[in-house]
Amino acid sequence: MKPQNTLLANTGTTIFTVMSALATEHGAINLGQGFPDTDGPEDVLQAAADALMDGRNQYPPMTGVPELRHAVAAANKRFYGLEYDPNGEIVVTSGATEAVTACLMSLLNPGDEVVLIEPLYDTYLPVVKLLGATPKLVRLSPPHWELPREELAAAFGPNTKALLINSPMNPTGKVFTREELQFVADLLIQHDAYAVCDEVYEHLVLDGWQHIPLATLPGMRERCLRVGSAGKTFSLTGWKVGYISAARQLATVATKAHQNLTFTTAPNLQRAVAVGLAKDDSYFEGLSRSLQDKRDRLGDGLRRLGFGVLDTHGSYFITADFAPLFPRGFNGTDADFCRMLTIEAKVTAVPVSAFYDSDPPRTYARFAFCKREALLDAALERLAGWIAGRTV
Ligand code: PMP
Ligand code: GLN
């Protein structure tokens, strides 16, 4: 038989699925895949339940139900002063995963170059390659994840069509500063390139850091496709409702991608997300405050156990260096460590190497802290027991 698509046939199962399956198999506390262990706000859930029963269960409009398109536009204005027309500049998608893919599809022709920043979310690279575009990787390195400006500038060239930027960033918890974003904006203008802005963690920002959409910088609105996710903003990751905000011309072509990917997204969930986006500021502040407490609890605990815990200013994730636990060196990779931790300590983390294309750092594990405090405590207790009991 003829071979199937080479790239997909050679792509492994995503690390999030692999580690969650391993956690289940070994009865481990799953701090790997990033999902909260409590449901989102009651009023949003109730709105979804009501919307299921009120008879609007057929195909919604392709770009999203009007309630949600208006709510996304209003949120853009309320949080960032960004103006988008709900009729033509907002596209609702089935999760940010679809949104990012649709944005890339809408921009790239075979042969175009795309600047990507490692560590990167695991759908970016396969999609860029499937589209026949050429990835240009720029690498951030632990422990500080600084933007290597010279290398970033060198990655741009005459064939650069777009940059994909994720802020707040998974897995690093880095929140790009205005200065960094200005540097990026200057490059985009200089090279006449677009940006796909994966901002799914826009409301999960800690320590008083401020999320700045690249689209708010001068000259950027017409170059940026900004992606959000209700799954993250409302702790409902299974819902898979995402949204693209972009200038009309960009949104029009992104809609064509959406038309060919999923066409529409569950109307009842969309209507509930509209209710969520209209919640008052205290909800959004409460979300980040509660995550900050969880980050502190897990981060302090891991530090006490001897991990080298890196700073995280946003997202669901802490990155921790496990090398200090092994004074004589760890004989294996970060994937081996995470596997061992799952099987022996019964706590699951994700190896950070999964976010690099090649030659990754090897001693970092990503822990999700978006869990109830009792679960974080139980995980720390298991880790303490494992550390005490092992022979290094
Ligand atoms: N981008 C990043 C950086 C993510 O961490 C996630 C979370 N899975 C997504 C996109 C996808 O979001 P969604 O679940 O809305 O598809
Ligand atoms: N974004 C989540 C993470 O990074 C998981 C999403 C997924 O499982 N595809 O853990």
Instruction: Give the tens place of pLDDT for each residue, 86-126.
Output: 999 999 999 999 999 999 999 999 999 999 999 999 999 99
If asked whether residues 226 and 197 sit together in one domain, one would say yes
If asked whether residues 47 and 128 sit together in one domain, one would say yes
198 C-alpha to center of ligand 1: Å?
Answer: 8
91 C-alpha to center of ligand 2: Å?
Answer: 22
Instruction: Give the tens place of pLDDT for each residue, 154-198.
Output: 999 999 999 999 999 999 999 999 999 999 999 999 999 999 999
If asked whether residues 199 and 223 sit together in one domain, one would say yes
Q: Which ligand is located closest to the Cα atom of residue 317? A: 2
Ligand 2 pocket, residue 170 CB under 6 Å: yes
Instruction: Give the tens place of pLDDT for each residue, 358-390.
Output: 999 999 999 999 999 999 999 999 999 999 998
Q: Is the pLDDT at 18 greater than 60, yes or no?
A: yes
Instruction: Give the tens place of pLDDT for each residue, 308-343.
Output: 999 999 999 999 999 999 999 999 999 999 999 999
Q: Which ligand is located closest to the Cα atom of residue 119? A: 1
Burial class (CB in 10 A: 0-12, 13-18, 19+), 164: buried
How far apart CA 85 and CA 363 sit, in angstroms, is: 46
Question: Containing domain of residue 229, as a range?
Answer: 42-279
**So what's the pLDDT on residue 350?**
98
If asked whether residues 70 and 23 sit together in one domain, one would say no
The letter for the amino acid at 323 is A
Of 187, 186, 185, 132, the closest CA to residue 158 belongs to: 187
Q: Does 1 reside within a domain?
A: no
Q: Quick one: DSSP state of residue 142?
A: T
Of 31, 54, 97, 17, the closest CA to residue 271 belongs to: 54
Residue whose CB lies within 8 A of the most ligand 1 atoms, among 15, 97, 244, 355, for a mutation test: 97
Q: Does 375 reside within a domain?
A: yes
* Section 282-308 average pLDDT: 97
Mean of the per-residue pLDDT values for the chain?
97
How far apart CA 126 and CA 324 sit, in angstroms, is: 34
pTM: 0.97
Cβ atoms of 116 and 138 within 8 Å: the answer is: yes
Residue whose CB lies within 8 A of the most ligand 1 atoms, among 98, 229, 315, for a mutation test: 229
Domains contained in the chain, number: 2
98, containing H or E segment? helix 95-107
251 contacts: CB under 8 Å, gap ≥ 6: 63, 88, 89, 90, 91, 225, 244, 245
Percent of the chain with pLDDT over 90: 98
Torsion, CA 109, CA 114, CA 119, CA 122, rounded to 10: 0
Q: Does 371 reside within a domain?
A: yes
Q: Which of residues 279, 310, 327 is at a domain's end?
A: 279
